[in-house]
């Protein structure tokens, strides 16, 4: 009996010893686990990392870019019909929001065009946004009463925000002579002679082709105090070409003007009188005043020679205060009638001024 008690006692002591050892081991394990230095979790969402990231010594260029976001609200009005045209006009309100964007990309190398202080960098085209490209052909309400020409109010609202003009001061007896010069038919020298005789200045809207082929005549225009305007390089319809092409059509002509005469053009006449709100916005952003007209006639047909008297009557029956007169220099009739036109206009109390 005594031996049995002794065995139970020894077993209890062993159990206590084992429990103590296990308790010590558990305590040590817990202490170890709580003091363990776990690796930081990586930003990589897929594989993670068990090592600390090394310091990045690469220098990154940070650029702040300002972007203009343009939104357009359009309210459609009823169609307006004239004798020759049917036009649906819209009242257009443009809103601009400026947003600053920070990027870590290295700035792109600026183009050579940006080095020209006379012309905006091509990046300005990014501000055009989603603007209506509905194509219009210029037209006005004619009259034979020598009263100022009128245009549709919807058209007026489209051109006004973008420096578009078609008429001058209507409370003054003043006229503005403009000539379109796409190519030469041998009459411009005579026109310049007549203008010099009467001390009248005019605006000559030239193409790139004209500038290349008739530099002597452009020299005269500049030297005799006339204004040279931009009629584009190759005379495309601007609504039919993209923003970059519009830029090239204007810039490439002005680049030659700067190289040859030291200045760029500031007045622009849309080829064929075709335009849209988009094209008006671009030409305005690039520093141009878009010049339409309040009088013109079909004088661009070189095979229709109807005589100086025909041109004289056409002009004199339509002159009015502030008239912007469009005449094509390829017309023999215009060249021969110009002297009589200027003389008669002055006799009626009109003066001639330059657009600016």
Residues noted as catalytic: 180, 328
Let me know: does 289 contact 267? Beta carbons within 8 Å. yes
CA torsion, ordered 144, 147, 149, 151, to nearest 10 deg: -110
The span from the CA of 55 to the CA of 254, in Å, is: 51
- CA 323 → CA 147, 191, 278, distances in Å? 9, 19, 26
Q: What are phi and psi of 330, to 5 degrees?
A: -80, -5
What is the CB-side half-sphere exposure of residue 187 using CA atoms within 13 A?
Answer: 20
CA torsion through residues 159, 160, 165, 168, sign? positive
Closest CA to 339 of 201, 197, 224, 221: 197
Q: What tokens does 285 get?
A: 């952003």
Q: Return the structure tokens found at 150.
A: 């009128």
Counting Cα atoms < 13 Å in the Cβ hemisphere of 280 gives 29
Map 19-41 to HEC letters. HHHHHHHHHHHHHHHHCCCCCCC
From first CA to last CA, the distance across the chain in angstroms is: 131
CA–CA separation, 205 and 186 (whole Å): 16
Say how many CA atoms lie within 13 Å of 217 toward its Cβ. Answer: 24
Q: How many whole angstroms separate alpha carbon 4 and alpha carbon 1? A: 5
φ, ψ for residue 199 (rounded to 5)?
55, 50
Contact criterion met (CB below 8 Å) for 218 and 211: yes
Supply 147's token pair: 């009263």
In the numeric block, the tokens 């912007």 are attached to: 324
158 contacts 137 by C-beta, under 8 angstroms: no
């Amino acid at each position: 009996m005594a031996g049995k008690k002794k065995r139970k006692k020894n077993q209890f002591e062993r159990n206590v010893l084992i429990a103590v050892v296990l308790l010590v081991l558990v305590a040590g394990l817990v202490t170890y686990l709580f003091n363990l230095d776990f690796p930081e979790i990586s930003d990589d969402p897929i594989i993670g990392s068990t090592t600390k990231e090394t310091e990045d010594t690469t220098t990154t260029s940070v650029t702040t870019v300002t972007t203009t976001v343009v939104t357009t609200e359009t309210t459609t009005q009823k169609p307006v019909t004239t004798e020759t045209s049917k036009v649906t006009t819209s009242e257009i309100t443009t809103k601009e929001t400026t947003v600053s964007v920070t990027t870590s990309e290295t700035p792109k190398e600026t183009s050579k065009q940006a080095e020209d202080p006379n012309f905006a960098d091509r990046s300005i085209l990014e501000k055009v946004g989603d603007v209506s490209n509905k194509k219009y052909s210029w037209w006005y309400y004619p009259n034979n009463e020598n009263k100022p020409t009128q245009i549709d109010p919807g058209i007026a609202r489209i051109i006004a925000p973008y420096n578009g003009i078609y008429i001058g001061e209507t409370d003054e007896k003043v006229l503005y002579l403009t000539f379109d010069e796409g190519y030469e038919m041998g009459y411009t020298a005579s026109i310049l002679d007549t203008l010099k005789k009467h001390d009248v200045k005019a605006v000559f809207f030239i193409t790139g082709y004209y500038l290349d082929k008739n530099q002597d005549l452009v020299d005269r225009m500049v030297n005799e105090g006339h204004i040279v305007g931009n009629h584009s390089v190759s005379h495309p319809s601007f609504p039919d070409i993209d923003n970059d092409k519009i830029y090239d059509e204007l810039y490439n002509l002005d680049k030659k003007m700067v190289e040859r005469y030291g200045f760029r053009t500031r007045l622009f006449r849309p080829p064929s009188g075709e335009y849209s709100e988009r094209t008006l916005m671009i030409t305005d952003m690039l520093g141009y005043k878009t010049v339409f007209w309040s009088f013109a006639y079909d004088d661009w047909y070189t095979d229709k020679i109807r005589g100086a008297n025909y041109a004289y009557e056409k002009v004199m029956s339509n002159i009015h205060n502030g008239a912007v007169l469009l005449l094509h220099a390829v017309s023999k009739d215009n060249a021969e009638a110009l002297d009589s036109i200027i003389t008669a206009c002055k006799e009626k109390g009109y003066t001639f001024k330059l657009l600016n």
